[in-house]
Amino acid sequence: MLVRFTKCHGSGNDFPLVDARDWSLSDGEWASLARVLATRDGPVGGDGILALVVGDEAAAFGMRMFNSDGSEAETCLNGLRCVARAGFAAAGVETATVRLKTSHAQVEHVGDLAPGVYTVAETAGPVSLATADWPIIGAPERLIDAVVPGLSSQRAFTAIAIPNPHLVTFVDRIDEAELVAVGEACEAAPAWLPNRANVSFVERRGDTTLFVRTFERGVGLTNSCGSAMAASTYAACLTGRVEFGREITVLNRGGLVRARAEVDAMVTLNGNATWEWDGEVEVDLASERAGEVTVLRRYDDEVAAWRAVTEEARPTAPA
């Protein structure tokens, strides 16, 4: 099949995005397509693949997101902003409800985060603290700043689903080797955590800034994870590190978002949806092989605008 796509990113979380509103792929075929296009040594590369799909009675359009290993995520907030941009253009709107795998989210095209940076506000939630929903076997009903039963780490984590599952811990300084070790333990789907989890180490930098580093389920160590930034913001408010209702800056290796968590367990992120280039490629799903990619268009101005944002944020990010 000939696949046309836009290579895009939200806060450095990069994806090929396809308009699949008239597609009819099976879940297995979607998984194959994700493994072909999103693998880092493949023709395109990314943290996963995004699909603009049809909505429902409550939503103007929908989104599906498959990780680079072929597994489907409940949501991806960095990816949602990119799908929202495509959906706005397709539907001729500037605000919408979006159908996700297990929930809905609100999105709106808002004023630029920085000059030349297309910006979307997205509101997701409500956050769930019920460990039975993951499930986390052997855990109490809620885990808030507590050691996780079954995990070898003695760090205190907060368990949050938004709706995909996150374990968030606050540290003085991020140790990536430790983060990878904890992330890989969760990625292995042990008996006590059958559906795996995203793991984030978070530095609090004053009253209005967090820095988040995430080992993402189905991806690994990533420059950015939107739902992790939302979960970390809510965890910071829940544990008294940040005030509910206050907008903060959340930094990551890919850039930044503005975030706000409310007492009603809803979280809003304002962040970029940046187009990098359009392309097309012939894909054989049965063999999971792809031909040569043809680049159809480049968005150099958008790439440069986001580069300016990351260069401004870089001095505050650890090496």
> What are the residue numbers of the active site?
76, 225
- Can you give the C-alpha Rg of the chain in angstroms? 19
d(CA 140, CA 149): 9
Apex 78 CA angle, 75 and 80, nearest 5: 55
**Short-list 155, 156, 100, 95, CA closest to 124:** 100
* Beta strand ranges found along the chain (DSSP E): 2-10, 13-19, 48-56, 59-67, 95-99, 104-110, 119-124, 158-161, 165-170, 198-204, 209-216, 220-222, 248-252, 255-261, 267-272, 274-284, 289-290, 294-298
238, 278 Cβ separation under 8 angstroms: no
Q: Quick one: tokens of 121?
A: 């506000």
191, 160 Cβ separation under 8 angstroms: no
Cα–Cα distance measured from residue 159 to residue 143, given in angstroms and rounded to the nearest whole number: 5
Pairing of strands 104-110, 59-67: unpaired
Helix (H) or strand (E) holding 19: strand 13-19
* Beta-sheet pairing, 48-56 with 13-19: parallel
